[in-house]
Structure 1
């Protein structure tokens, strides 16, 4: 295997690598590609066409992968002075990300499509193709750091900018994928990246960041799911099973949701009610008080480790949402599962979400939550 750069946050000038830079058309990936080229690597830019029928333009900060984004990526590659290609991965993206997203909601779970895209597209389909074509590494604009260990191997760490850290959605990467990954932006703040982009003459310097789910450009997840799953009337009930209202599809709700419940009668105590459970089998949505959302423990499946799997029970911190805070936990991997005890309750954690374990700033690994334990010890 080719020797990889020793700098913890991106390419170094030591070894000259053949690098495939994934360029979304945004400022982060453009600067990442520019830094890799400036470090002396042989860089080729590639834009992933992930939509079969891309829109011509973005709507503000919503969506991505439009024709406008492709053109922005090409212009950035021209300024950097690197070859540029567009690769059509729309069918793979539909199968591995969009279809998975719909199926998870249909099953009453809450998926993270960005995490799935990193696992299945950017660091599987793209990386596999890159390696097959003779590239040494894939470079992206993610905010995270890679630390090369003196004795060999690599570790994934949080970015220095906590507001932009994206290590949570990279927790699915295994040791082999990390060996072929470059994240040049991990030691930089977003403000510094925009200043650098302007200095480099990149037209995307002030382009808004993409938000929400990239394949739902208007941000209306419920409408998107209704188009794919249709309507299916069901009941909204309280914890005792008393019917409080009706819905058009259980998939339109998420654990912890408060607004849009369409409950006719107020709670006896006058307090707001939240979604506590979603049952696709009975097409029932259960609501109750906020205290019913307190999670004390969880079980997660399909663990993926950013290195060697941990042995025995250990103390870590866990992040349970893409922009959530860290929580002290005790965790143990056994029998293909990860069992986690939270040192303090956390509200609104749902099956389908990812739990990512950290040891300090180091990412230990990730797993998909399959069940949660509430205060009453009921598994949801």
Structure 2
């Protein structure tokens, strides 16, 4: 097959491209330029999409022996990921920009262009498995599994995706990179949001949304216990940085329970008030076969790095609702609820939806 390898400049995408070549595919590497102003790229290894990353991707392509190009996707990225990120926080929700980038950029804009140019598939370095049966499964390296951020992809997108690293641990990927002579073998993983150069999300949002003072209210007493300069700077489950002027009556820590943009209010309360047993979502995507006719037993994950909980899920054309068998905390609107089916060969992604409540 003729495949396009998305090369971020990290070790995973480099080894994924090399494996695609070794599997006999005709591979072309591409690095995505995502910043309108390259000077705003951070330097160092704290995030992806740095100046160094572009250079590292080109060097890796040279070592692998494949053609390499840089595609300017800055406008699409800004509209679909950055603007969405800001708008979601302004609306009191907590977005996942990596998930949105996979959905709107890597497997929409990039895939569309790749298909138009005659490529059969897009290869990425995500840690997930996509077998001949078309099922998306967790990586064998559960600590690095990225199936959660891929669960927003639809069937057509998955049919043109390749994830060569799903059967390897991160340690094995690094060893293989060194054996292949790739200089990125020991390059640290990226962690931060790529378009926030200094890692300060609150300041990034304040620069775009401005000052919007409001009250922080205690859910138990109804009293104003603090003030904020913008409700967008908070997320459900947050404990640190609340700057509350009035201690809780019982002396216990308080957490953000909800954000209400219409009243510009942040509500705080005890940890147990974060417990939820029902989660609902919109924009459902179902990739695990036929849409179930009724409720089914599943495993549910509601955060990128959260654990799964058993639940009963019911899916319709316009929504998803889960009844959890045990409470979970810190469920934030805007994140994804991802449904898995337990499987000895690796939990299977059945579908996902964007959390509303």
In structure 2, the residue matched to 1:346 is 328
Matched, 1:22 2:6: yes
TM-score (norm 1): 0.90
TM-score (norm 2): 0.96
Change (3 A) 1:56 1:192: farther
Alpha-carbon offset, residue 178 of structure 1: 1.0
In structure 2, the residue matched to 1:367 is 353
Matches within 5 A, 1:224-243: 224-239=204-219, 240-243=221-224
Alpha-carbon offset, residue 58 of structure 1: 4.6
Change (3 A) 1:304 1:370: same
Q: Distance in 1 between matches of 2:68 and 2:157?
A: 23
Matched residue pairs, number? 351
Q: Distance in 2 between matches of 1:62 and 1:218?
A: 9
Alpha-carbon offset, residue 319 of structure 1: 0.9
Structure 1 counterpart of 2:231, from 244, 250, 253: 250
* 1:103-133 Cα deviation digits (max 9, x unpaired): 0000000011111000000000001111111
Q: Distance in 1 between matches of 2:115 and 2:95?
A: 29
* 1:333-352 Cα deviation digits (max 9, x unpaired): 12511010111000111111
Q: Single out whichever of 333-342 and 228-237 deviates more from structure 2.
A: 333-342
In structure 2, the residue matched to 1:7 is none
Given that residues 58 and 68 in structure 1 are in contact (C-alpha distance below 8 angstroms), is that contact kept between their aligned partners in structure 2?
Answer: no
Q: Distance in 1 between matches of 2:274 and 2:280?
A: 16
Once superposed, what is the RMSD of the aligned Cα atoms?
1.2
Structure 1 counterpart of 2:27, from 18, 23, 43: 43
Q: Distance in 1 between matches of 2:348 and 2:312?
A: 16
In structure 1, the residue matched to 2:64 is 80
Given that residues 113 and 213 in structure 1 are in contact (C-alpha distance below 8 angstroms), is that contact kept between their aligned partners in structure 2?
Answer: yes
Structure 1 counterpart of 2:139, from 159, 166, 176: 159
SS in structure 2 of the partner of residue 148 of structure 1: coil
SS in structure 1 of the partner of residue 3 of structure 2: strand
Structure 2 counterpart of 1:266, from 238, 247, 257: 247
Matched, 1:209 2:193: no
Q: Distance in 2 between matches of 1:325 and 1:119?
A: 22
Query: Could you list the runs of 5+ residues in structure 2 that have no partner in the other structure?
Result: none
Given that residues 55 and 66 in structure 1 are in contact (C-alpha distance below 8 angstroms), is that contact kept between their aligned partners in structure 2?
Answer: no
Q: Distance in 1 between matches of 2:40 and 2:218?
A: 46
Given that residues 35 and 41 in structure 2 are in contact (C-alpha distance below 8 angstroms), is that contact kept between their aligned partners in structure 1?
Answer: no
SS in structure 1 of the partner of residue 38 of structure 2: coil
Alpha-carbon offset, residue 370 of structure 1: 0.5
Query: Could you list the runs of 5+ residues in structure 1 that have no partner in the other structure?
Result: 1-16, 372-380
Q: Distance in 2 between matches of 1:55 and 1:183?
A: 31
In structure 1, the residue matched to 2:150 is 170
